[in-house]
């Protein structure tokens, strides 16, 4: 037994081998608008499969992700920890030689933890947690990986794209054909994983790049949405429809193999829909209505997302209105698998084993949602939820009950009551100095647990790498 195995085994309770532990399926959409699904109010984009999932499961109407853009949200989901605690606050550039730009090896991931309870682990789709081989999904706990490791990809074979968006599709490091619309391929691969491992307990992380740019869809799908006048919205609608169809393929395979009843399914977008209007001059093709803001911002339009949890054997269909966050996926999945949290370290890590593995268990910032979703626990999962973007002194937000705190850089803080003002239109900071002071203090205390980003966003990182390369050439 190696040290990592011994460490993780301390987490496993005597119930870990229980026959009723579920499979776990985590589905992540990319840059999906808050209002762009049928169950979220969309009228021009039919999404029957996701609507059915929402009807059969629990729809969390105050569901959040831990960051307003791609990679940091994924780092938080994989670790159950605020990614600012370990410096993963930016998107990593596609720099295969960079050993810092990725999910730090000091962090233990969901697949590493759950496979010690006997689970087979698989990932399909977008990775975006580091280009260096040490960050490869197969090195971070996934037995099987099919997809692309960058931050995005072209959708149609033969399309022109940057190096990162034109990487070969791979299965466990071996190149695989790119011969269909990418969203279709990912849906089929996920269904194939479910088929292959139906006799085992499994975790599958299915991370679509849809409907992230580049806007691209097959002609037959575009024809389906010919009634939408705006070209950007039309193509985007076709991409969301393809995403819904692919999810349907996956859920149908669960049904066909009689695994649906005992599969714990999560669905989110990694952040809110983007607003490219300022850059392109064209109308925004996504909708985050009725929320304020969009991808990249800490107003709710950037961080509040469609959020579903389904486990037919355990959870009754319904609506859950208390704030929850994607950090909750890891502890919820582990608890369902029979893995107890034990006694984690009070904060951070106390030391390091070989390979950068900590000798102290990580303190999960997420919680097990199951008791709350069943009604067994009538309290709130989180007293306060926090956000920070752009590093120390950047943009901050916090959610405490119905109250939302926002501070953008050096500007004066904002305070909103989301129960009465979901669009964050009326700043109540001046009228509620006591609440503002309480939330300001909470954010300051939380920020002391964070560190500065350990790597830059892609453009600054690429510039530094280019300068370094020229210097070495001399």
Q: Which tokens belong to 201?
A: 């307990």
* Cβ 203 vs Cβ 119: under 8 Å: yes
Taking Cα atoms as reference points, which of 305, 434, 325, 433 lies closest to residue 384? 325
Residue 18 CA: distances (Å) to CA of 10, 12, 342: 17, 12, 18
3-class SS at 297? Answer: coil
How far is residue 255's CA from residue 244's CA, in Å, rounded to a whole number? 16
Given the residues 70, 136, 212, 349, select the one marked as catalytic: 70
Task: Please check whether residue 294 is in contact with residue 272, taking contact to mean a CB–CB distance below 8 angstroms.
Answer: yes
Residue 319: phi, psi to the nearest 5? -125, 135
Report the C-alpha gap between 307 and 146 in whole angstroms. Answer: 25
End-to-end CA distance of the chain: 48
- How far is 120 from 112, CA to CA, in rounded Å? 10
**3-class secondary-structure state, position 381:** coil
Does 60 participate in catalysis according to the annotation?
A: no
Rounded Cα gap, residues 54 and 445, in angstroms = 36
Residue 231 half-sphere exposure toward CB, CA atoms < 13 A: 4
Is beta strand 395-400 parallel, antiparallel or unpaired with respect to 403-408? antiparallel
- Written as six digits, the tokens of 94 are 């596609």
Distances (CA, A) of 25 to 111, 262, 455: 12, 11, 30
Looking at 67, 128, 153, 349, which residue is catalytic? 128
Q: How many CB atoms lie within 10 A of CB 218?
A: 17
Residue 9 known to be catalytic: no
- Confirm if 89 and 388 have CB atoms less than 8 A apart: yes
Question: What residues act catalytically?
Answer: 70, 128
């Amino acid at each position: 037994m190696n040290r990592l195995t011994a460490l993780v085994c301390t987490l496993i309770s005597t119930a870990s081998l229980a026959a009723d532990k579920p499979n776990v399926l985590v589905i992540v959409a990319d840059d999906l608008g808050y209002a762009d699904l049928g169950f979220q109010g969309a009228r021009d984009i039919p999404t029957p499969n996701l609507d059915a999932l929402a009807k059969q499961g629990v729809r969390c109407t105050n569901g959040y992700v831990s960051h307003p853009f791609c990679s940091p949200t994924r780092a938080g989901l994989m670790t159950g920890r605020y990614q600012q605690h370990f410096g993963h606050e930016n998107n990593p550039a596609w720099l295969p030689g960079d050993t810092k730009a990725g999910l730090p090896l000091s962090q233990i991931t969901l697949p590493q933890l759950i496979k010690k309870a006997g689970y087979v682990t698989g990932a399909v789709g977008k990775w975006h947690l580091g280009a260096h081989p040490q960050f490869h999904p197969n090195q971070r706990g996934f037995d099987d990986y099919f997809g692309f490791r960058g931050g995005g990809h072209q959708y149609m074979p033969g399309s022109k794209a940057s190096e990162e968006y034109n990487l070969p599709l791979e299965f466990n490091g071996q190149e695989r054909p790119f011969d269909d619309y990418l969203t279709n391929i990912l849906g089929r691969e996920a269904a194939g994983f479910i088929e292959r491992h139906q006799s085992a307990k499994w975790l599958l992380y299915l991370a679509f790049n849809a409907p992230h740019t580049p806007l691209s869809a097959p002609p037959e799908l575009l024809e389906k949405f010919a009634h939408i006048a705006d070209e950007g919205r039309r193509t985007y609608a076709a991409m969301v429809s393809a995403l819904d169809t692919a999810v349907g393929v996956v859920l149908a395979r669960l049904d066909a193999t009689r695994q649906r009843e005992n599969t714990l399914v999560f669905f989110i977008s990694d952040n809110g829909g983007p607003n490219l209007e300022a850059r392109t001059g064209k109308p925004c093709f996504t909708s985050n209505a009725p929320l304020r803001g969009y991808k990249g911002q800490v107003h709710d339009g950037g961080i509040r997302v469609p959020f579903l949890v389904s486990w037919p054997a355990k959870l009754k269909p319904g609506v859950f209105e208390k704030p929850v966050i994607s950090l909750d996926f890891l502890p919820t999945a582990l608890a369902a698998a029979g893995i107890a949290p034990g006694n984690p370290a009070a904060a951070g890590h106390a030391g390091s084993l070989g390979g950068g593995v900590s000798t102290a268990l990580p303190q999960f910032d997420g919680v097990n949602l199951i008791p709350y979703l069943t009604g067994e626990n009538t309290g709130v999962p989180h007293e306060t939820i926090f956000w920070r973007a752009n590093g120390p002194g950047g943009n901050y937000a916090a959610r405490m009950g119905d109250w939302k705190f926002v501070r953008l850089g050096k500007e004066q803080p904002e305070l909103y009551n989301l129960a009465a003002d979901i669009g964050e239109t009326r700043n109540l900071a001046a009228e509620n100095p006591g609440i503002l002071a309480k939330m300001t203090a909470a954010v300051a205390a939380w920020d002391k647990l964070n560190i500065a980003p350990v790597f830059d966003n892609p453009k600054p990182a690429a510039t530094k790498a280019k300068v370094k390369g020229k210097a070495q050439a001399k």
